[in-house]
Structure 1
Amino acid sequence: MDNITASEIAGLGVGTLLLCATFAAPKVDALIAASQRSSLRMCKKCGDLRMIACSKCRGVGLIREGATFGLTFVDDLYESFGAENSKARSIACPSCQAKGHFCCPDCSKSSLV
Structure 2
Amino acid sequence: MDGLGLTGSEIAGFVVGALLLGATVTAPRVDGFIASSQRRSLRMCKRCGDLRIVACPKCKGVGSVRKGGVLNMGMLDDLYESFGAEAKTDNLVPCMNCRSKGRLLCPECSKRP
Identical columns (%): 53
Structure 1: gaps (5+ residues)? 80-85
Q: TM-score, normalised by structure 2?
A: 0.77
| Larger helix share, 1 or 2 | 1
SS of residue in 2 equivalent to 1:107: coil
1:101 to 100, 103, 112: 103
Answer yes or no: is 1:69 the counterpart of 2:78.
no
Structure 2: gaps (5+ residues)? none
CA distance in 1 between partners of 2:56 and 2:62 (Å): 8
Please state how far the C-alpha of 1:49 moved relative to its aligned partner.
0.4
Q: TM-score, normalised by structure 1?
A: 0.77
| CA RMSD, 1 decimal | 2.2
AA aligned to 2:45 is C
Q: Kindly report which structure 2 residues correspond to 1:1-113, keeping only aligned pairs within 5 A, or say none.
A: 2=2, 3-65=5-67, 69-70=73-74, 71-72=77-78, 73=81, 77=86, 88-111=90-113
Q: 1:21 to 1:78 in 2, by over 3 A?
A: closer
